[in-house]
Structure 1
Amino acid sequence: NATSYVCAEPVAGIILQDGLLQNYYPDGTKESKTDFVLTEEIAAFKSKFNPLKQTKEKHISTGLFGYFSWNAVQHFEDIKFISATPDDEQIPMMQYHVYRYIIAIDHFKNEITLVKNVFNEDENEDLSKIEYIIQNKNFPEYSFKTNGDEQSNLTDQGFMDMVEQMKKHIYRGDVFQIVPSRAFNQAFLGDEFNVYRCLRSINPSPYLFYFDYGSFKLFGSSPEAQITINNNVANIFPIAGTFKRTGNDEEDVALAKKLEEDPKESAEHVMLVDLARNDLSRHCNGVEVKSFKEVQYYSHLIHLVSKVSGNLQENVSAFKVVADTYPAGTLSGAPKYKAMQLIDQYEKLGRNFYAGAIGYMGFNEDFNHAIMIRTFMSKNNHLHYRAGAGIVADSIAENELNEVNNKIAALRKAIAMAEEI
């Protein structure tokens, strides 16, 4: 997709924080509740809006933009997490907003389309305010500098010990596969937008995003969709199987063939494709694997990718299917429920934003979200980032540590490059 979207001036939204669900609307009214079913509340919130049909416009012109975190699964499944997120890293579990202005940038045609969402007949449809801001780019620019050394919640040995503990659960038959992760953070001074600029150039991916919520920011370059839903067709794209690129194209082609034939990587991939099929089958018909184990190349990594599709059953909301399929098996494991319990038990530090989903949700039931991997959260002048590795019975702890470092490499490189701007 060669289109970027910039959203400004939120006028309505639905936010979940500390067990309180709050809605606000363009007319200034607000609602809040502590007893709710989240999937039903999202459907009810969306039903309050009845946008006019846009016959000519090919770009997104309205809908909700936002995210939900790893912890939101506690509202999708009967599960409770005990791992805590430190107070200074807390963000809302979920938030989506409707924006007054949407700017669509077509990179192929070098065209900008301006959209203003008007919520009552008396409202001014003038776009001069946003046109003025675009044409008068008088904004200060600031540099970026790291402040001290990178920190982690685990030592290298600590992560490898966790891998060995989780392998014991695989041997016992508790899970077939599990995805432990390791958290990092880097203090900084200045403007972290420079890190995003560098990450885009280092690691161009299907999903590039920068969400500024004032007190914190979420930005990244994710290779993997959580789920896409378009015209009532749901698609999941499991990414499992990872080798590090060499920098030599011929060697990378040979490495890709080796990846396809690797029994450990293939076993992991097949399990996650089956998991996607099972998840979609809860509220979709005609579920099938459209493509299987395709090789895809990224800046630092080679991945195996499949596509699993299904048709939404009648009268099933898009977000219900999202809840069915969250979290991605590639970030949890199989069986998913037990894998999540073990992750919560052993990781200690709550995942927070990591492995959550971020993107767009249409009033027409379209849905397109990236998984928050290769992603930074910036808060209180600290960058937080995380990576995981898929563990199966014959995993070697040192190799899984290397996989985490390979996945985090692009983010570390972006931080280093941002200091040179």
Structure 2
Amino acid sequence: MTKEQINTFKEKALTYASNFDVCCYLDSHHYQDKYGKHDCLIAFGKEKELIVPTGNAFSSLKNFVEENQEWMFGLLAYDLKDEIENLDHFKKEDFLAFPDLWFFIPTHLISIKDDRIQIIKGDKEIVSKILEISIFKEKSNDDLSIQQKFTKEEYLNHIEKIKHHIKRGDVYEMNFCQEFFAKNAIINPLATYKSLTEVSPTPFSGFLKIENKFILSATPERFLSKRGNMLTSQPIKGTAKRSKDEAEDLTIKNTLKNSKKEQAENVMIVDLVRNDLTKSAVKGTVKVDELFGIYTFPQVHQMISSISCELSPNVHFVDAIKNTFPMGSMTGAPKLRAMQLIDQYERSKRGVYSGSFGYITPDGDFDFNVVIRSILYNAETRYLSFQVGGAITYESDAEKEYEECLLKASAIMSVLKK
């Protein structure tokens, strides 16, 4: 099939899948990725389900995997950190009510790789049923009143407080996030996701539906993957706004590549990820495959590094996920103290945001993204949320950090204001 035919099929398949109570759609948007096994996966229908709150979530997932060596898709919320580390709690309201850990074994599963469609599981006639669907241009949402949890002045004041902790030596770097939200929001999740990916097609984007809860994600970041016995993590640290002028855009890209500040932020997280991977690795196998790689997306250039290791035969792959969770790019360094300060200074419960969703195969391979650049929506409570943040270091300029937040929010804002 041609790329155009594949794109039409993907749109129809997502439309078809979204009619089921649960579905997970993962799309790389044709980005070349040497670590990925599939260009697109479409899972829908529920054969079995695992829903577990923080406490024994990872052990429950391990048991679920052992009992059901099948394809499964699901999410890991940021708040699973409380199962890994002993943290002080600053109670925050949860208007979205996503589970802490949720996985399902699909009834139907379709894979697309190199523009070829494969039915991995389910009705072999499903392709013809999908092709019969008519696609209508739907309005994504009504006008939404989007609010922020921080005023600009409050945000700037918090950055200075965090920098005080950095000067004291509590942390070297901390990822600080703020929430944008809308109450009484009525949106069309499918149309909103389509609009989001038209504005910002990214390699780890996805649409996840759990009955009346939705993740509409245009994330560019991989949390962790396993292929065979190799684990790979690709943290993002370093962002620069693109220009429509080609020469200026190239200058911006080169400036990001050579920025000592951005490199310093990136390497701190690389070191953190290397440390996390050593807990699961065959001794001496942790290595940095790429340092300070510059990757271009529609709105931004990003600095991405790749770290890998050989998984120890004595470590279960679910424990390897636990050993690296939550991802260092969304916490800071040192990780524990950064998470304590995140709990103290952020005003919103992260929940699914800065968590992860993805898949596990019957032979124990997996691939999970980082939930950023994502809209979270509960259709029952009509609460819509998205969060943005950045790495705060000693060198951080509060005004510039605020501008970077708005830049990261811009793609979502443009979609929600349509």
* TM-score (normalizing by structure 2): 0.85
Deviates more, 1:287-296 or 1:41-50: 41-50
Q: Secondary structure at the match of 2:218?
A: strand
| Whole-angstrom distance in 1 between the partners of 2:135 and 2:192 | 18
Aligned counterpart, 1:258? 255
**Residue 230 of structure 2 is aligned to residue 233 of structure 1:** yes
Match for 2:242: what amino acid? Answer: R
Deviates more, 1:208-217 or 1:179-188: 179-188
Aligned counterpart, 2:390? 389
**Residue 57 of structure 2 is aligned to residue 38 of structure 1:** yes
Instruction: Report the CA distance shift for 1:148/1:308 in structure 2 as closer, same or farther (over 3 A).
Output: closer
Q: Tell me how far 1:71 sits from its aligned partner.
A: 0.3
Aligned counterpart, 1:89? 96
Aligned counterpart, 2:191? 194
Q: Tell me how far 1:144 sits from its aligned partner.
A: 2.8
Q: Tell me how far 1:80 sits from its aligned partner.
A: 4.8
Q: Pick the aligned partner of 1:269 from 266, 270, 275.
A: 266
Equivalent positions of 1:281-300 (< 5 A) are 281-285=278-282, 286-300=285-299
Q: Tell me how far 1:148 sits from its aligned partner.
A: 4.1
Deviations 1:81-130 (A, max 9, x none): 323233x3221111000011112234x43x4322335xxxxxxxx544x3
**Residue 410 of structure 2 is aligned to residue 405 of structure 1:** no
| Whole-angstrom distance in 2 between the partners of 1:190 and 1:343 | 30
Alpha-carbon contact 2:96-2:383 (below 8 Å) kept: no
Aligned counterpart, 1:101? 108
**Residue 372 of structure 2 is aligned to residue 373 of structure 1:** yes
| Whole-angstrom distance in 1 between the partners of 2:135 and 2:323 | 43
Match for 1:115: what amino acid? Answer: I
Alpha-carbon contact 2:189-2:216 (below 8 Å) kept: no
Equivalent positions of 1:275-354 (< 5 A) are 275-285=272-282, 286-354=285-353
Q: Pick the aligned partner of 2:157 from 137, 161, 177.
A: 161
Match for 2:52: what amino acid? Answer: L
Alpha-carbon contact 1:152-1:182 (below 8 Å) kept: yes
Instruction: Report the CA distance shift for 1:131/1:256 in structure 2 as closer, same or farther (over 3 A).
Output: closer
Alpha-carbon contact 1:226-1:357 (below 8 Å) kept: yes
Aligned counterpart, 2:68? 49
Q: Tell me how far 1:135 sits from its aligned partner.
A: 4.1
Deviates more, 1:62-71 or 1:184-193: 184-193
Equivalent positions of 1:41-80 (< 5 A) are 41-50=60-69, 62-80=70-88
**Residue 119 of structure 2 is aligned to residue 114 of structure 1:** yes
Match for 2:293: what amino acid? Answer: E
Instruction: Report the CA distance shift for 1:164/1:315 in structure 2 as closer, same or farther (over 3 A).
Output: same
Over the matched positions of the two proteins, sequence identity in percent amounts to 25
- Segments of structure 1 that go 5 or more residues without pairing to the other structure are 20-35, 51-61, 118-125
* TM-score (normalizing by structure 1): 0.85
Alpha-carbon contact 1:227-1:236 (below 8 Å) kept: yes
Alpha-carbon contact 2:239-2:301 (below 8 Å) kept: yes
Match for 1:91: what amino acid? Answer: F
Q: Secondary structure at the match of 1:222?
A: coil
Deviations 1:174-227 (A, max 9, x none): 000001101001354341321211111111111121011112101111111111
**Residue 216 of structure 2 is aligned to residue 180 of structure 1:** no
Alpha-carbon contact 2:77-2:101 (below 8 Å) kept: yes
| Whole-angstrom distance in 1 between the partners of 2:237 and 2:386 | 20
Equivalenced residue count is 377
Q: Secondary structure at the match of 1:145?
A: coil
Instruction: Report the CA distance shift for 1:401/1:76 in structure 2 as closer, same or farther (over 3 A).
Output: same
| Whole-angstrom distance in 1 between the partners of 2:281 and 2:412 | 36
Alpha-carbon contact 2:41-2:109 (below 8 Å) kept: yes
Match for 1:263: what amino acid? Answer: K
Match for 1:271: what amino acid? Answer: M
Q: Secondary structure at the match of 1:284?
A: coil
**Residue 51 of structure 2 is aligned to residue 15 of structure 1:** yes
Match for 2:365: what amino acid? Answer: D
Q: Tell me how far 1:131 sits from its aligned partner.
A: 4.9
Q: Secondary structure at the match of 1:166?
A: helix
Q: Tell me how far 1:141 sits from its aligned partner.
A: 6.8
Alpha-carbon contact 1:38-1:76 (below 8 Å) kept: no
Alpha-carbon contact 2:92-2:348 (below 8 Å) kept: yes
Q: Pick the aligned partner of 2:142 from 119, 139, 146.
A: 146
Match for 1:16: what amino acid? Answer: V
| Whole-angstrom distance in 1 between the partners of 2:145 and 2:60 | 43
| Whole-angstrom distance in 2 between the partners of 1:299 and 1:311 | 34
Deviates more, 1:295-304 or 1:248-257: 248-257
| Whole-angstrom distance in 1 between the partners of 2:410 and 2:364 | 36
How much is the aligned-residue C-alpha RMSD, in angstroms?
2.0
Q: Tell me how far 1:39 sits from its aligned partner.
A: 2.8
Alpha-carbon contact 2:178-2:347 (below 8 Å) kept: no
| Whole-angstrom distance in 2 between the partners of 1:352 and 1:274 | 26
Q: Secondary structure at the match of 1:146?
A: coil
Aligned counterpart, 1:123? none
- Segments of structure 2 that go 5 or more residues without pairing to the other structure are 1-27, 31-38
Alpha-carbon contact 1:146-1:186 (below 8 Å) kept: no
Q: Tell me how far 1:232 sits from its aligned partner.
A: 1.3
Q: Tell me how far 1:64 sits from its aligned partner.
A: 1.0
Q: Secondary structure at the match of 2:286?
A: strand
| Whole-angstrom distance in 2 between the partners of 1:144 and 1:42 | 35
Instruction: Report the CA distance shift for 1:270/1:115 in structure 2 as closer, same or farther (over 3 A).
Output: closer
Q: Tell me how far 1:403 sits from its aligned partner.
A: 0.8
Larger Rg: 1
